[in-house]
Chain A
Amino acid sequence: MNQPRLKVPLVLLVALVLHTAVMGHLRLAGVAPDLMVLIPIVGGLTSGPERGAALGFFCGLAVDLVVQTTPLGLSALAFSIIGYTVGVLEAGILRSSWWIPPATALFASAAGEALYAVSGALVGQTQLVTDRLATIVVVVGVLNAVFALPMLRIVRWSMRDGSAANARYV
């Protein structure tokens, strides 16, 4: 089992199961971590903007289909933008360091949640932008930063096809 085309869907399915079955219990100030936005972030870090955007699209689509009742494609839109942006910014980083993935997860997860809410409001889902948005953005950022390093290893493993492994952030 050395093919990303087999490993990536498996990782997405397991992440979705964990997201729906476990993460709801792991709340801080009533806010749960968002594993599904973390995957495109670490995907963008390890594999570049193209794969970051693709991971974001499929993670978002899975969330839209199974978890959210907001319009289908809303999470896919927000998560693809985040995955792509992280990949583009990563290309400008000259030195790798252990703290870069958690720091990126913190800021990019916060941006992902805010982007989802604001995009939703733009298409009429105004209930997504509430007084609680600031709390959600901060807490998701912090909790996702905690999960960043293990998730990075998992996503790197799923993306590795044995030919062009990225040696960064291992």
Chain B
Amino acid sequence: MYRRSNRRRFVFVLLLLTSITLITLDMRGSSSGAIGSLRRGAHDVFAPIQSAADKVIAPVGDFFGGLTRYGHVKSENQRLKARIADLQAHGLVESDAQRQLRELTQLEQLTFAGDLKSIVARVVSTSPSNFQVTVELDKGTAAGIAKGMPVVSGAGLVGRVVEVSKERATVLLITDGESHVGVRFSESGDTGVANGAGARTPIQVGFVNAGTKVTTGEVVTTSGLQDAIFPPGVPVGKVRSAKPAADKLALDVTIEPVVDLSHLEFLKVLTWLPPAGP
């Protein structure tokens, strides 16, 4: 009895120590180390399985998704019916192919990316995680994507690449709690830092001087200040609210992303990397 109990504890302690060792190795090592290679390998092995499963299971997932969001789906259905009727009246109904073409054309005509080179990729899945807001792209290092590259849609900033394997890239969206974007207010030119607070939650902008004039609806773009992780001038969001902070020394500003992050299909990865530090 004692021997069995000791064996149980031994196995448990061994698993805990292995987990802690992996955490330590991952946190201390670079992405090009053994742990990074293991992660990239796992992504590449799982990618085709996931793609095949997505094709088969997607209708089931959509069905269950519809069940849990019945009220929302019903009101959305009514809204879309009204919209279709309106568009039919004006002869503007477009097919899915036309919509995709329009999205791709928008991506080809980015006004904010300047002459930066870019790679168009398709979103293949959204993360099931409750703690991270990420999407996965169908292209990786084989297409020239690298960790840290900014990702945009036709409207503005979506996020940045945080993991990349040969065939897949994981993009951390700007609403994720780990996302911090240096931003500039278009009217005053003052700067701040846009911190994600999770899906469905407005982005909080910190470090905004109390004297800054902020207007509701004003567009906020990436600041591109020294050591910024995004190029300058990419639209991030529109101001939703602004009020003095409790200590009166700063402004509490919230913004809504300019991109509809719940409906992402084609995105553009800008082949721009932050300048290396000194």
Using a CB–CB distance below 8 Å, which chain A residues touch chain B? Answer: 13, 16-28, 30-32, 34, 48-50, 53-54, 56-57, 60-61, 64-74, 76-77, 80-81, 84, 113, 116-117, 120, 123-125, 127-128, 130-132, 136, 140
Contacts and interface: CB of A to CB of B under 8 A. Distances in A.
Contact of A80 (B12, B27, B65): B12
Interface stretch (B99-107, B111-119, B192-200, B248-256): B192-200
Given A24-B61, A54-B15, A73-B22, A67 B197 contact: no
B43 interface: yes
A141 B16 CA distance: 24
A54 B130 contact: no
B85 interface: no
14 contacts: A20-B125, A21-B58, A21-B61, A24-B127, A26-B65, A26-B68, A31-B130, A60-B19, A65-B42, A70-B131, A73-B26, A76-B15, A120-B131, A131-B197
B19 A80 contact: yes
Interface string B45-63: 0100110011001101110
B65 A123 contact: no
A27 B61 CA distance: 10
Main secondary structure of the interface of B (DSSP, over half): helix
Main secondary structure of the interface of A (DSSP, over half): helix
B132 interface: yes
A25 B61 contact: yes
Given A49-B8, A54-B11, A66-B42, A22 B57 contact: yes
B127 A72 contact: no
B18 to A, nearest CB: 7
Given A25-B62, A34-B130, A73 B50 contact: no
Interface in B173-214: 176-178, 197-201
B57 A71 contact: no
B50 A20 contact: yes
B216 interface: no
B141 interface: no
B197 A69 contact: no
A17 B26 contact: no
Given A21-B54, A127-B177, A66 B46 contact: yes
Contact of B23 (A123, A131, A136): A123
A130 B197 contact: yes
